[in-house]
Amino acid sequence: MAASLAMPIVPVAALRAQPVVVQQVGSKPAADTLRNPPVLRNISSRPHTVEVNIVAAPARISVLPGRLTDVYAYNGSIPGPTLEAREGDRVIIHFRNELPEATTVHWHGVHLPANMDGSPFDPVPPGGHYDYIFNIPRGTAGTYWYHPHPDGRSEYQAAMGLFGAFIVRAANDPIATLPEKLLVLSDNRFRPDGSIEFADSNSTQSNIDMENGREGNVLFVNGQVMPSIVIRKGEVQRWRVVNASAARVYRLAIPGQVLLHVGSDDGLFEHAVEKNDIVVANSERVELLVRGTGKPGSDVELMDLPYDRYMPQTRPADWNTSRALLDLHYSDRVMPAPVTLPTTFRVVPALDTATATVTRTVVLSQGMINGHTMDMSRVDMQASVGATEIWDVENVVGMDHPFHLHGFQFQVIDRNGVPEPFRSWKDVVNIPKHEAVRFIVRYADFPGKWMFHCHILAHEDHGMMAVLQVR
Ligand code: C2O
Ligand code: CU
Ligand code: CU
């Protein structure tokens, strides 16, 4: 199939040329135009308890300026409202499904009982409800997110607007005083009338979407196109970034600025790492520190730089284009006092490879795991509660597959034989084309059936998923 038939990416500059899209560009913003998603209201008065209501329902909202779009939304907003909790909290989510189809809510990355995971094993029918109840383990503060995970329909429901952030805070967060921004990244594509565009089945585009995963030509941060953030001279901001895209991998950079990468999927690193750019595969999260180092009054853009994750046959013609996500305005206000950062953020205890009892080999080929597509009635792997294991995940094909394990956080040991330079907790790791990644994981508790899969949602939906049973 010809890559030239792929959906053209509209450069963000073109969108910005329409004054209706972003009014603030060109002026000198005094305050952020980036809006945070609403925070879910805690209806509990009990200590250490977060109790919230979430409804998934069709809605008609303004996604693109001046147009109305039929969507699915959590509590009427895209992204859905942010779930905020603290380590040790008991979280109670009263979920109602008012969609015309079955769904689940999956708490991506969180260590919780299997029947609370919102996996395809526990669908909530249309009109049904489900109470998700779990405790947040100590030591797991981080940036998580939630999204639908029904059998075969995750990509469609996410494209329709179902995704939201889930922030777990630590009692002793060493950078809690820094101004914090949440950036939920998503992309989508639309018909001229503003409706969400899905490829006709059997079209060339649907084959491309199946291969690459569905990418959109409009890039959103918290549901906004090119919002802005203002930073003062000398200020240090903490940005929590969630890649909620179904397939797009972002390579983030801010021209003229070295980023301080301080955290990954499941929380802070021990130390900051300087990076010119940071690759964020779909479903990954990063925490980074952004500094007010630019010339007062000037603007730079948070860029998504080209990243070639594709097979040559279906690589989009304009894959090599950089795209702007957000405007960063260096204000002429100055921080009253210099910001000092801790040298150590937290201790990340090592999982000891000497304690691993098994090494599992997981082979990713196009659409399959270990030569099979998903079968809900099959158990692909068995393990014991309390066991520590090494997974050797090998990608034998010429495109990247971001690999995700439910329920249990892991530590990458090496990538293509190169030892990981430092420890971090992760729940998804991108496996580049023809590369292999080894990680170590401990099934601390929670017996049950756990999914592992490629997080390109089209691949997941079409069976690039398997089941680990822990007993
Ligand atoms: Cu974020 Cu199985 O998913
Ligand atoms: Cu998950
Ligand atoms: Cu994949």
User: CA 36 to CA 242: how far, in whole Å?
Assistant: 13
Considering only CA atoms, which residue is closest to atom 3 of ligand 1? 108
What total number of domains does the chain contain? Answer: 3
Shared domain for 190 and 137, answered yes or no, is no
37 domain-assigned: no
Shared domain for 10 and 140, answered yes or no, is no
Q: Print burial letters for 47-74: b (CB count within 10 Å at least 16), e (below 16).
A: eeebbbebbbeebeeebbeeeebebbbb
Give the distance (Å) from ligand 1 centre to CA of residue 16: 33
Average pLDDT of the residues of the chain: 94
pLDDT in the model for residue 24:
43
322 domain-assigned: yes
390 domain-assigned: yes
User: CA 98 to CA 92: how far, in whole Å?
Assistant: 19
- Cα angle 188-190-193, degrees, rounded to a multiple of 5: 155
Q: For residue 321, what are its two tokens?
A: 């284009």
Could you identify the atom of ligand 1 that is nearest to the CA of residue 108? Answer: 1
Shared domain for 279 and 336, answered yes or no, is yes
Shared domain for 73 and 104, answered yes or no, is yes
Shared domain for 337 and 402, answered yes or no, is no
Shared domain for 236 and 316, answered yes or no, is yes
Could you identify the atom of ligand 1 that is nearest to the CA of residue 145? Answer: 1
Identify the domain boundary among 291, 312, 342: 342
Identify the domain boundary among 141, 169, 197: 169
132 domain-assigned: yes
Which stretches of the chain drop beneath a pLDDT of 50?
1-26
Give the distance (Å) from ligand 3 centre to CA of residue 395: 9
pLDDT in the model for residue 30:
80
420 domain-assigned: yes
| Total Cβ atoms within 10 A of residue 43 | 12
pLDDT in the model for residue 17:
36
Give the distance (Å) from ligand 3 centre to CA of residue 236: 36
42 domain-assigned: no
Round the CA-based radius of gyration of the chain to a whole number and report it.
Answer: 21
Shared domain for 99 and 150, answered yes or no, is yes
Could you identify the atom of ligand 1 that is nearest to the CA of residue 149? Answer: 2
Domain limits for position 186? 2-29+176-342
Q: Is the peptide bond before 336 cis (omega within 30 degrees of 0)?
A: no
Residues at CB less than 6 angstroms from ligand 1: 106, 108, 147, 149, 283, 404, 406, 451, 453, 455
pLDDT in the model for residue 244:
98
Shared domain for 196 and 331, answered yes or no, is yes
HEC per residue, 95-141: EEECCCCCECCEEECCCCCHHHCCCCCCCECCCCEEEEEEECCCCCC
90: DSSP letter: E
41 domain-assigned: no
pLDDT in the model for residue 8:
39
Shared domain for 304 and 378, answered yes or no, is no
Considering only CA atoms, which residue is closest to atom 1 of ligand 1? 108
Residue 114 φ then ψ, to 5°: -60, -35
User: For 17-66, what is each residue's pLDDT tens digit?
Assistant: 333 333 344 455 689 999 999 999 999 999 999 999 999 999 999 999 99
Cβ contact 363:369 at 8 Å: yes
Q: For residue 344, what are its two tokens?
A: 């150590």
Shared domain for 296 and 359, answered yes or no, is no
Could you identify the atom of ligand 1 that is nearest to the CA of residue 109? Answer: 1
36 domain-assigned: no
Give the distance (Å) from ligand 3 centre to CA of residue 196: 23
Give the distance (Å) from ligand 3 centre to CA of residue 74: 26
User: CA 218 to CA 325: how far, in whole Å?
Assistant: 10
| Selection from 216, 218, 245 nearest residue 154 by Cα | 245
Whether the pTM exceeds 0.85: the reply is: yes
Residue 385, amino acid: V
Cβ contact 93:116 at 8 Å: no
pLDDT in the model for residue 29:
63
Identify the domain boundary among 149, 169, 189: 169
Shared domain for 105 and 148, answered yes or no, is yes
Burial of 319 (0-12, 13-18, 19+ CB in 10 A): middle
CATH number where 77 lies: 2.60.40.420
pLDDT in the model for residue 20:
34
- Cα angle 64-67-72, degrees, rounded to a multiple of 5: 70
